[in-house]
Amino acid sequence: MEPIQIVLCGCSGHMGHVVADCVRTRNDAQICAGIDLTDTVGGAFPVFQKPEDVTCHADVLIDFSHPSVLTSLLAYAVKHRVPAVLCSTGYSEAQLAQIRQASQEIPIFKSGNMSLGVNLLIELAKRAASVLGEPFDIEIIEKHHNRKLDAPSGTALMIADGVSEVLPDPMTYTYDRHSRRMPRSKSEIGIHSVRGGTIVGEHEILFAGPQETISITHTAQSREIFALGAVNAAAFMAGKQEPGLYDMTDLLKSTQ
C-alpha cells in the first residue's frame, strides 16, 4: 500500500517538527509538503507560505499552526476535497462556525487535544460528574509553558463541555473571580490557567464536595503523544469521502 500523502501546516513550529519526526518513523505516511511563513525543515519536503501555493497531491492535511490561517486552509481543503485534521486551539465562535460549515462539504477531524489519555480523562470526568451530582463543585486547572498564546486551553474547554453534557442543569464557565465578591454558584464550572516554564501540558478536574474531594489529572510528558494522535487521525481520515465533523471518539471507536 502506498503511504498516505500529508500536507503539514505549521511545519516549522514546535509541533510541526515533532509531527514530521513522527511521520519519518512510519511506513504508512509521508509529508509531501509543508505550509509555513519560514522554512526550517532542512529540505525534508517543500515548504509553501500559503495553502493555495501547494502543488502536491495530498490525501489529508494536518494543521498545527494558528487560527489566523483557518480561512485559507479551509478554502484549500474544500477546493481540493482534502480531509483536514485540525489540531490548533483558540478558535473564535465565528471560526468554529466556519469549521462546521466546511464539514458539510469535506470530512474534518477536530480536537483540542490529540492525546489518548486526555480523551480518556474526559470520559472518566463525565462518569464522575454524573455519579457525584449537585453536591460537588467542579473546578478545572490547566498548566502550560510560557509560550502558549491562548487561555484557557482548548483541552480545558473540552473537559468542561464534556462534563456539562451529563449534568442536568445548564452550567456557566467562570474564568476570573478577582473582581467578584460573592459565594460560588452551584451552576458554574471554574476554569483556571497557569503559564510558566516548559510545562508540556497538565490538566486536572477537581470535584469538591462535603468533607471530600476527588481529582483526576493528566500530565503530558512529551509533545510526541500529540503528534502520534495527529498522525493516527490523519491515517483514519485519509480516503474518507463522507463529509462531517469527526473527533477522537470516532478514532477510538475505529480501533475497537
Q: Which residues are catalytic?
A: 144, 148
Distance CA 231, CA 85 (A): 9
Residue 13 assigned ligand-binding role? yes
Distance CA 110, CA 91 (A): 11
Residue 90 assigned ligand-binding role? no
In sequence order, what are the residues at sequence separation of 6 or more whose Cβ sits closer than 8 angstroms to the Cβ of residue 68? none
Produce one character per residue of 172-193: b if its CB has 16 or more CB atoms within 10 Å, e if not: eebeeeeeeeeeeeeeebbbbb
Residue 72 assigned ligand-binding role? no
Residue 87 grid cell: 489540531
Question: CB of 31 within 8 A of CB of 11?
Answer: yes
Residue 155 assigned ligand-binding role? yes
Residue 15 assigned ligand-binding role? yes
Residue 55 assigned ligand-binding role? no
Beta strands in 36-179 (DSSP E): 47-48, 60-63, 84-86, 107-110, 137-144, 172-174
- Does residue 113 sit in helix, strand or coil? coil
Residue 210 grid cell: 462535603
Residue 88 assigned ligand-binding role? yes
Residue 196 assigned ligand-binding role? no
Residue 117 assigned ligand-binding role? no
Residue 9 assigned ligand-binding role? no
Q: Give every strand in the sheet of 47-48, ordered side by side.
A: 47-48, 29-35, 4-9, 60-63, 84-86, 107-110, 244-246
Residue 119, judged by CB atoms within 10 A of its CB (0-12, 13-18, 19+), counts as buried
Residue 114 assigned ligand-binding role? yes
Residue 87 assigned ligand-binding role? yes
Residue 119 assigned ligand-binding role? no
Phi, psi angle pair for 75, to nearest 5° = -60, -45
Residue ranges for the known binding site for (S)-2,3,4,5-tetrahydrodipicolinate are: 145, 154-155
Residue ranges for the known binding site for NADP(+) are: 50
Residue ranges for the known binding site for NAD(+) are: 10-15, 87-89, 111-114
